Structure 1
Amino acid sequence: MAGPRAVEGVDAAVRGLCQLVLVVTGIALMVALGANVVARYIFDTGGFDWAQEVPERLFPWFIMAGVALAVQTGGHVAVETALFLLPRRAARLLLLAGHALVVVTYVVLARSSLEVAEIAAIERSPVLGLSGAHGYWAVAAGCALLVVGTVTNMVRVALLGPEGLPREGGETAVT
């Protein structure tokens, strides 16, 4: 089983990638949307044609990076009432089983997303000519990052018990 330092290293790499995607796509979204708003007031024809397609292609990447980051920081939705009612060992087993189910679910979703991406790849956006697969690739990549984040959480729970789960703000018991 991987040690706490290895888990932290993997999490740091995923966190860095997600933050980079959030910053790059966030800036690009703001520039495209802002330019389009300004263009509506300057040009008689309205805004830029391409400015509608750019957010459609970038927004899924922005969202999936945020979701993957939320798993690492404890910012996702969690119902932990049953954990407080169970003995520590049973809570650990419940968490591990739940995380295993989440991993399987995200693997299936990633695979399905890639299959749909193949179908959507033949579609082209009218202005930029971009493939219709971008959003599905984002979902697949996000699911892969969610698998990694869930597995690192599983390792923490296996090593430390329920206290190893990240809490809101990204704090864990691993040092």
Structure 2
Amino acid sequence: MTRVSPLPHHEEQARAMGGGALSAADIIDRAVGFICRAVILLTGLALLVLLTANVVARYVMESGGFRFAQELPERLFPWFIMAGVALAVQKGGHMAVESVLARLNRNGARIMLLVGFAIIIASYAILGWEALGVADIVSIETSPVLGLSSSYSYYALALGCLAVILTTFALAIRVAKLGPEAMPTPDPEETGI
């Protein structure tokens, strides 16, 4: 990932970090990060236990496994994925093409990033709103064994959109206050580079 310029000197950065907006961005990031990590941990463990138990049950039980073992992962997996999407936004782990951004001066890069953030926030707000609408429509559909509503997956999408909006808003605050250097740079271990 190309950066426009190095971070400001420690004194300038410490002065800038004292702002209430940056404190709010930190609080948003910590809250969203904690919730998303908890969702990933809980759903990941549930998926692992459930799928492992079903594989064992296929060989032990005459029925060939648990009947609900296909339905529950379908309801848990969207929560797992959307929590990961929000964390990837927080860490700067999504794919980006920065050829134009790298050619702009610091102020131009800041403006381009802020416009991009506004587009992302608006897009995810629309997507989240539509997901709630679809959740309402499919709420009458239930899974055959557990009787779980099909709307749970759409609620995961809507709440995941909210998490992305909050995380993007926190990034926008940092970029507005500190400049494009405030953009997160993912660790190479996290991106596979």
- Pick aligned residue for 1:21 from 14, 19, 39: 39
Partner of 1:101: 119
| Stretches of structure 1 lacking an aligned partner (at least 5 in a row) | 170-175
Q: Which amino acid aligns with 1:127?
A: V
Deviation at 1:66, TM superposition (A): 0.2
Alignment partner, residue 110 of structure 1: 128
Question: SS where residue 44 of structure 1 aligns?
Answer: coil
Of 158, 165, 169, the match for 1:147: 165
1:163 matched to which residue of 2?
181
Give 3-state SS (helix, strand or coil) of 1:167's partner. coil
Aligned pair partner of 2:75 in 45, 49, 57: 57
Q: CA RMSD in A?
A: 1.0
* TM-score, normalised by the number of residues in structure 2: 0.85
Distance in 2, matches of 1:76 and 1:84, equals: 17
Q: CA deviation at 1:24?
A: 0.2
Matched, 1:31 2:49: yes
Aligned residues: 169
Deviations 1:40-75 (A, max 9, x none): 000111010011111000000000000000000111
SS of the aligned residue for 1:39 comes to: helix
SS of residue matched to 1:3: helix
Cα offset for 1:126? Answer: 0.3
Q: Which residue of 2 aligns with 1:42?
A: 60
Aligned counterparts of 2:167 and 2:116: Cα–Cα separation in 1: 14
| Equivalence for 2:91 | 73
Unaligned runs of 5+ in 2: 1-18, 188-193
Distance in 2 (CA, whole Å) between partners of 1:132 and 1:35 is 24
Equivalent of residue 92 in structure 1, options 96, 101, 110: 110
Task: Report if the CA contact (8 A) 1:125-1:132 is conserved.
Answer: yes
Provide TM-score, normalisation by structure 1: 0.94
| 3-state SS of paired residue (2:66) | coil
2:146 partner SS? coil
AA aligned opposite 2:43? T
Inter-CA distance 53–37: structure 2 relative to 1 (3 Å threshold): same
Contact 1:2 1:155 in 2 (8 A): no
Residue 6 (structure 2) aligns with: none
Are 2:18 and 1:3 aligned? no
